[in-house]
Structure 1
Amino acid sequence: MARDSVASVEVRRSRRRTATVSAYRDGDRTVVAIPARFSQAQEREWVAKMLARLDDKERRRRPSDDELVERARELSARYLDGRARPTSVRWAANQERRWGSCTLTDGSIRLSTRLQGMPEWVIDYVLLHELAHLLHAGHGPDFWRLLETYPRTDRARGFLEGVSFTSDSSDGTPDDIDSGSTPS
């Protein structure tokens, strides 16, 4: 998802910054911080590099449906011995109370578009959670054993709980990965 970010780039030179370059998005503007000693050529080079890095990072946080299918295959192979084989994986805009869901009868997986822009490891966790449901329908011990193999399970769950807590929930109940319950 490349932006036309060249027109909205602000370069900040700093005498305190000696060797590092950083960049971030601030609304429609991209801010690139560079050492004050950089030449104009170095500035152009680093602005181009940092814009490419930000675009790549944003693309990874908003994968296409085809990229989700490929990522599901990779996660299944790595963490589930390739046993979970979804028939489809896609983004779904109508999941306002769930992060993800799957239909066991047809093997389809849907991830909430609210996940777009979240860290890749969080999206991977939700996708892996749904893949695990293709092998175990409920949230019993066998299901959670499958997710223990993913090293960021606890961190991702905490991240999603934090997002749910800060979101404007009208009834005060937390968002779910799917319709099942989570362990106590």
Structure 2
Amino acid sequence: MSAEPVSPASRSHPLGSRATAVEVRRSARRRRTVSAYREGNRTIVLIPARMSAAEEQRWVAVMLDKLAAQESKRMLGDDELAERAAWLSEQYLDGRARPDTVRWVTNQNTRWGSCTPAEGSIRLSHRLQGMPEYVVDYVLLHELAHLLVPGHGPRFWALLEAYPRTERARGYLEGVVAAARLPCLPTARDGRGGQREER
């Protein structure tokens, strides 16, 4: 297979301070599909050779999010969640937010996370499991910020300004909530014996 590597980009890993290298490989044989996999401490993204630089950038972000979501389903227990919280606090809050406990809970169905500053405890809804890592990071950072500022005033939102994916994560969560409110659409036979969705 002919592949034309593009200069690797570096991306910071959420569970530690090491950087994960991203290597993009272009292939003339690949027409439409994009795939990605981990190889040691690198992420390899395979794309069609004809993709523009903008398309490449977009697809690299999409594939990194997909891999992260798969990995968070498999490995993100309470201990890893606490590690991630410590990392986020160091990166975005100068290490000032130091929770005593960080854990997943199954009894939060109307909120994504909660925090009790007096106890130093943070709880994340199990519904976040499997969502892209930047979404989980945003909710964790949101709750960490509440350890420093209890309400949602200007001081609180100023703490989240440093996180570059705040708006994207909030949009993702709003989309999940909106999708849950949509009625289930019936399917109709398409005349060939298959199923098709009504749009």
CA change 1:151–1:111 in 2 (3 A) is same
Classify the secondary structure of the residue corresponding to 1:164: helix
Classify the secondary structure of the residue corresponding to 1:94: coil
Aligned length: 129
1:70 is the counterpart of 2:83 = yes
Q: CA deviation at 1:61?
A: 4.6
| Structure 1 segments unaligned to the other structure (5+ residues) | 1-14, 25-53, 170-184
More strand by share: 2
Q: Hey, what does 2:72 align to over in structure 1? A: 60
Aligned partners of 1:150 and 1:88: how far apart in 2?
22
CA change 1:58–1:104 in 2 (3 A) is same
Aligned partners of 1:23 and 1:149: how far apart in 2?
28
| Structure 2 segments unaligned to the other structure (5+ residues) | 1-27, 38-65, 183-199
Q: TM-score, normalised by structure 1?
A: 0.62
Q: Hey, what does 2:121 align to over in structure 1? A: 108
Aligned partners of 1:150 and 1:21: how far apart in 2?
28
| 1:56-106 CA distance string (max 9 Å, x none) | 752235511000000000000000000000000000111000000011110
CA change 1:61–1:80 in 2 (3 A) is farther
Identity of aligned residues (%): 66
CA change 1:125–1:168 in 2 (3 A) is same
| Equivalent of residue 142 in structure 1, options 140, 146, 155 | 155
RMSD over aligned CA atoms reads 2.9
| Equivalent of residue 82 in structure 1, options 50, 73, 95 | 95
| Greater RCO (CA < 8 Å, at least 6 residues apart) | 1
Opposite residue 110 of structure 1, the aligned amino acid is: R
CA change 1:21–1:67 in 2 (3 A) is same
CA change 1:147–1:64 in 2 (3 A) is same
- Equivalences for 1:1-184 in 2 at 5 Å? 17=30, 22=35, 58-61=70-73, 63-168=76-181
Aligned partners of 1:143 and 1:112: how far apart in 2?
21
Aligned partners of 2:100 and 2:119 also within 8 Å:
yes
Classify the secondary structure of the residue corresponding to 1:167: helix
